[in-house]
């Protein structure tokens, strides 16, 4: 995210999460917080923001309402150097940092995959390292917290390795799992977590927050971000809005036979492939929702589902060794067939 978020803001939940924050921090004070939480809900509405603020609150030595920002724990967490705050993800096992992406260039690296394996899934080696770290008796005898982000990137072996830790973490350990696709998690894992559902805020609340961050109104970004304020912020702070507009035009042109799939695929920057696929998924999912709202006996249901499945599969493959141009080409060839049923000729 290229917009500067003030560090003090990161210690607090987002405005639309205030009630949830009060509930969960009250449970912390009563020592009743379930030891494994699964934060689930659509992308861009602040699950990670909330998870990091809660992690900061948990490890803070001088909390009152929120993490204090100035104790030893808070200072370490700011740069990812807190020994008891961990982030498990496809980049390995890192020191959790109170930054907009949870990482810090100077942060601790507990375990890292080799470069070419990065971003595919959360390996068993990373999961084992987490278990090992949590098994070491706690530094300063304080709370420990581990965020697993994205939990649906855990592979079968790493899920199995983590099950026992998630069911019964070592004393004083809080596990926070995050997923946009909780249905992709094995039931054995889901059933061991307390699910916390996140939803998009009311448009007015989202608009107000976005305007505060940007210093001006940007209704267009919120529309392009399908009501998700953090997605909108990301869009508004770069060339995201115009880029997405161009992508939409390209997909429409393919469906309407004005552009062939090969040249269309070539027009997408390969560095932006994952972002493009995520956008395409949201764009189609949004139209699907709108269509279902308009009529329950939707005849294009299979077309929507086919495209969403294919994009999900392409997203999965894009993290591996798949050739970006070919991946997108084959997706757009499918779109050429089913697209007209979704967006008209
Ligand atoms: Zn503190």
- Which tens digits make up the pLDDT trace of 78-137? 999 999 999 999 999 999 999 988 999 889 999 998 876 556 789 999 999 999 999 886
- The CA distance from 159 to 180, in Å, is 17
How far is ligand 1, taken at its centre, from the CA of residue 182, in Å?
32
Give the residue ranges of DSSP H helices in the chain.
7-10, 18-29, 47-59, 72-78, 124-135, 156-167, 187-190, 203-214, 219-224, 229-236, 240-255, 261-266, 273-294, 301-318, 324-343
How far is ligand 1, taken at its centre, from the CA of residue 331, in Å?
48
How far is ligand 1, taken at its centre, from the CA of residue 61, in Å?
5
Least confident of 108-122, 183-197, 205-219, 277-291: 108-122
Q: Are residues 262 and 160 in the same domain?
A: no
How far is ligand 1, taken at its centre, from the CA of residue 97, in Å?
13
Q: Are residues 28 and 78 in the same domain?
A: yes
How far is ligand 1, taken at its centre, from the CA of residue 81, in Å?
14
- The CA distance from 303 to 312, in Å, is 14
Query: 120 lies in a domain?
Result: yes
179-216: burial string, b at 16+ Cβ within 10 Å, e else:
bbebeebeeebbebbeebebebbeeeebbebbeebeee
Q: Identify the pLDDT of residue 74.
A: 95
- The CA distance from 202 to 17, in Å, is 12
Q: How many CB atoms are located within 10 Å of the residue 338 CB?
A: 19
Question: What is the domain extent for residue 114?
Answer: 7-197
How far is ligand 1, taken at its centre, from the CA of residue 58, in Å?
9
Query: 213 lies in a domain?
Result: no
Under the banding of pLDDT at 50, 70 and 90, the label for residue 2 is very low
Q: Are residues 88 and 27 in the same domain?
A: yes
- Which tens digits make up the pLDDT trace of 156-175? 999 999 999 999 999 899 99
Q: How far is CA 86 from the centre of its chain?
A: 17
How far is ligand 1, taken at its centre, from the CA of residue 268, in Å?
44
Least confident of 67-71, 255-259, 288-292: 288-292
Close Cβ partners of 219 (under 8 Å, ≥ 6 residues apart): 207
How far is ligand 1, taken at its centre, from the CA of residue 44, in Å?
27
DSSP 174-221: EEEEEES-GGGS-HHHHTTSEEEE--PPPHHHHHHHHHHHHSS--HHH
* 281 or 238, greater pLDDT: 281
How far is ligand 1, taken at its centre, from the CA of residue 134, in Å?
21
How far is ligand 1, taken at its centre, from the CA of residue 39, in Å?
23
Q: Name the token pair of 18.
A: 């205030």
Give me the chain's average pLDDT, please.
90
Query: 115 lies in a domain?
Result: yes
Do strands 173-179 and 194-197 pair parallel, antiparallel, or not at all (unpaired)?
Answer: unpaired
Q: Are residues 152 and 23 in the same domain?
A: yes
Last residue of a domain, one of 181, 197, 213: 197
- Please state whether 46 falls in left (phi above 0), alpha (psi between -120 and 50) or beta: left
- For residue 1, pLDDT over 50 is answered with no
Q: Are residues 268 and 131 in the same domain?
A: no
How far is ligand 1, taken at its centre, from the CA of residue 57, in Å?
7
How far is ligand 1, taken at its centre, from the CA of residue 63, in Å?
6
Give the CATH number for residue 167.
3.40.50.300
- The CA distance from 322 to 177, in Å, is 28
Last residue of a domain, one of 143, 166, 197: 197
How far is ligand 1, taken at its centre, from the CA of residue 165, in Å?
26
How far is ligand 1, taken at its centre, from the CA of residue 205, in Å?
29
Q: Are residues 150 and 245 in the same domain?
A: no
- The CA distance from 177 to 78, in Å, is 20
| pLDDT mean over 229-238 | 86
Last residue of a domain, one of 166, 197, 228: 197
- For residue 289, pLDDT over 50 is answered with yes
Query: 285 lies in a domain?
Result: yes
Q: Are 85 and 96 in contact (CB under 8 A)?
A: yes
- For residue 230, pLDDT over 80 is answered with yes
How far is ligand 1, taken at its centre, from the CA of residue 216, in Å?
32
Under the banding of pLDDT at 50, 70 and 90, the label for residue 45 is very high
Q: Are 343 and 248 in contact (CB under 8 A)?
A: no
Q: How many CB atoms are located within 10 Å of the residue 6 CB?
A: 8
Query: 216 lies in a domain?
Result: no
Q: Are residues 166 and 115 in the same domain?
A: yes
Q: How many domains does the chain have?
A: 2
Q: Are residues 157 and 269 in the same domain?
A: no
Under the banding of pLDDT at 50, 70 and 90, the label for residue 22 is very high
The angle at the Cα of 339, spanning 291 to 297, to the nearest 5 degrees, equals 30
Ligand 1 ion local residues (Cβ < 5 A): 60, 62, 67-68, 71, 74
Query: 232 lies in a domain?
Result: no
Query: 49 lies in a domain?
Result: yes
| pLDDT mean over 199-216 | 92
Q: Are residues 331 and 267 in the same domain?
A: yes
pTM of the model: 0.78
How far is ligand 1, taken at its centre, from the CA of residue 151, in Å?
27
Q: Are residues 125 and 252 in the same domain?
A: no
Q: State how far the alpha carbon of 318 is from the alpha carbons of 171, 267, 306, 314, 338, in Å.
A: 39, 17, 18, 6, 22
- Which tens digits make up the pLDDT trace of 246-271? 999 999 999 999 999 999 999 998 88
- Please state whether 67 falls in left (phi above 0), alpha (psi between -120 and 50) or beta: beta
Q: Are residues 40 and 149 in the same domain?
A: yes
Cα Rg for the chain, rounded, in angstroms? 21
Query: 230 lies in a domain?
Result: no
Least confident of 102-106, 124-128, 139-143, 286-290: 139-143
Q: Are residues 169 and 312 in the same domain?
A: no
């Amino acid at each position: 995210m290229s917009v500067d978020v003030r560090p003090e803001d990161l210690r607090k939940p987002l405005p639309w999460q205030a009630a949830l924050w009060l509930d969960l921090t009250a449970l912390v004070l009563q020592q009743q917080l379930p030891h494994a939480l699964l934060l689930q809900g659509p992308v861009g509405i602040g699950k990670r923001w909330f998870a990091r603020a809660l992690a900061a609150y948990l490890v803070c030595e001088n909390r009152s309402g929120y993490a204090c920002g100035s104790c030893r724990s808070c200072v370490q967490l700011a740069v990812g150097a807190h020994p008891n705050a961990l982030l498990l993800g496809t980049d390995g096992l890192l020191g959790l940092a109170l930054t907009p992406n949870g990482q810090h260039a100077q942060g601790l690296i507990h375990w890292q995959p080799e470069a070419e394996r990065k971003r595919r899934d959360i390996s068993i080696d990373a999961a084992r390292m987490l278990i090992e770290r949590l098994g070491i008796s706690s530094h300063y005898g304080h709370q420990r917290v581990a965020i697993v982000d994205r939990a649906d990137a855990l592979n079968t072996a790493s899920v199995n390795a983590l099950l026992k830790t998630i069911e019964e973490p070592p004393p004083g350990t809080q596990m926070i799992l995050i997923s946009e696709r909780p249905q992709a998690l094995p039931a054995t894992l889901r059933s061991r977590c307390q699910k916390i559902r996140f939803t998009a805020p009311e448009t007015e609340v989202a608009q107000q927050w976005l305007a505060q961050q940007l210093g001006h109104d940007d209704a267009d970004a919120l529309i392009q971000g399908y009501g998700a304020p953090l997605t909108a912020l990301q869009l508004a702070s770069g060339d995201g809005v115009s880029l997405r507009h161009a992508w939409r035009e390209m997909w429409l042109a393919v469906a309407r036979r004005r552009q062939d799939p090969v040249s269309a695929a070539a027009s997408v920057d390969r560095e932006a492939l994952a972002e493009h696929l995520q956008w395409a998924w949201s764009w189609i999912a949004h139209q699907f929702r709108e269509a279902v709202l308009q009529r329950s006996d939707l005849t294009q249901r299979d077309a929507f589902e086919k495209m969403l499945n294919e994009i999900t599969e392409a997203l999965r493959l894009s993290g591996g060794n798949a050739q970006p141009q070919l991946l997108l080409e084959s997706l757009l060839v499918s779109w050429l067939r089913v697209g007209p049923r979704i967006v008209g000729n």
